[in-house]
Amino acid sequence: MTQQTINLTRGVPPVTVFPIDDLIQCNEAALRQDPYVLLQYGRSPGYAPLREWLGEQHRVGADQILIGNSSLEILAFVTQTQLKPGTRAFVESPSYDRAITLIRRAGAEVVGIPMQEDGLDLEILQDELKKGVPALIYLIADFQNPMGVTTSLEKRKKLAALAEEYGFWIIEDAPYRELRYWGNPVPTLRSLSPTRVLQMSSFSKVLSPGLRLGYVIGPADMIATLARWAVDSYIGPVLPTQGMVYEYCRRGLLSANIEQLKKLYSPRLQTTLSTLEKHLPQASWSKPEGGFFVGVTLPEGSDMESLRARAGEAGLKLSDGRGFFPDPANGNRFLRIPFSSLTPQEIKEAITRLAQLL
Ligand SMILES: Cc1ncc(COP(=O)(O)O)c(C=O)c1O
């Protein structure tokens, strides 16, 4: 009998979590309540009621919020407006692969700063600052993609102080922040330096990625700059989706949905950590308290190329760890486990198969 392949490549929510009936109802209600706004060209910073709702949630004025068709597209606006050939941009190493691609597309030099258990290696960062101040640092401070690491408060304070001293932007990408399964939240970088931090987030991980709905919070003049860029890119982001999501939020359904997600994902993370402990003691891994990922450093002597080829035969589909590193050679032993989309049974089976391969 052939065994079912287990896919460890996709950092996505399982389709079973989408609140389909609620979204259908909210979509209809929104279109009936505000059809002439939602079906007409809109303003580039986004649907006003949703901007206001987000502003209240994050305790900022609506003029400090820009909504876009996905946080990834907003990141493209940031890189297109803030970077040019020759500028430097720092990223965590490893980091979200598409963010690295967008920064490179803007022509900037990507400098990878190694990650530790509590965030960036600040000594190396300070050495790099002496070689040349970047236009921005892109980081994922909560439950990082791909490592699962959360940046400590101490490091956040230091980063905020450095951003103010040297005058670079911190792009704090925070799509997993609300998905904390245990432990205490750490203050956002934006709360530590409201003038130097752009905080990005999205409805992809807390509601549905297909909505393509993201937003950024920052100083009003920076939001205005991004809004001017956005208007020439697409006039305004898709409105009916924003209307539907605003209605969903207005009804108070989002926080209940997040609680449901936490109940589903928390045992998946626990299973991942305990199965790694049991079957892969020779490897090392992060100890996340939330999010979608656990980052594993495979034992000395492991090699991504041969591992992936053999994994296919053993019924495992693995991401190439090298893709997350600005210098791919550093990722030859790195494996991202996206536990969110797998059942505890699949997680146990996948790690057992992996241990046999190693
Ligand atoms: C760190 C990070 N930022 C952004 C995104 C993409 O978010 P969106 O769906 O809003 O484009 C992802 C998706 O995996 C991610 O992990």
Mean pLDDT by 10 residues, the chain (358 residues): 84 96 98 98 95 98 98 98 97 98 97 98 98 98 98 98 98 98 98 98 98 98 98 96 98 98 98 97 96 96 88 92 96 96 96 93
CB atoms within 10 A of CB 285: 19
Structure tokens at 82: 């803030």
Atom nearest to 140 CA in ligand 1: 1
Handedness of CA 154, 160, 161, 163 (dihedral sign): positive
- Give the pLDDT of residue 2: 59
Q: DSSP letter for 330, please.
A: G
- What is the C-alpha to C-alpha distance for residues 128 and 106, in angstroms, rounded to an integer? 20
- Give the pLDDT of residue 130: 97
Separation of CA 117 and ligand 1 centre (Å)? 22
Separation of CA 144 and ligand 1 centre (Å)? 11
Separation of CA 175 and ligand 1 centre (Å)? 6
SS3 337: strand
CB atoms within 10 A of CB 72: 20
Atom nearest to 74 CA in ligand 1: 11
- Give the pLDDT of residue 303: 86
Pocket test for ligand 1, best of 201, 204, 292 (most atoms within 8 A of CB): 204
- For the stretch 105-144, what's the b/e string if a residue is b when 16 or more beta carbons lie within 10 angstroms of its beta carbon? ebebbbbbbebbeebbbbebbeebbeeeebbbbbbbbbbb
How many Cα atoms occupy the beta-carbon half-sphere of 37 within 13 Å?
14
How many Cα atoms occupy the beta-carbon half-sphere of 244 within 13 Å?
21
Atom nearest to 214 CA in ligand 1: 10
Tell me the whole-structure pTM to 2 decimals. Answer: 0.96
Give ligand 1 pocket residues (Cβ under 6 A): 11, 70-72, 96, 140, 145, 173, 175, 202, 204, 209, 214
Please tell me the residue having the least CA distance from ligand 1 atom 6.
72
| DSSP-assigned states of every residue in 86-119 | T-EEEEEES--HHHHHHHHHTTPEEEEEEEETTE
Length of the chain: 358
Separation of CA 139 and ligand 1 centre (Å)? 12
Separation of CA 99 and ligand 1 centre (Å)? 9
Residue 185 vs residues 22, 117, 131, 225: alpha-carbon distances, Å: 29, 16, 34, 31
Pocket test for ligand 1, best of 95, 173, 242 (most atoms within 8 A of CB): 173
- What is the C-alpha to C-alpha distance for residues 112 and 84, in angstroms, rounded to an integer? 18
- Give the pLDDT of residue 1: 44
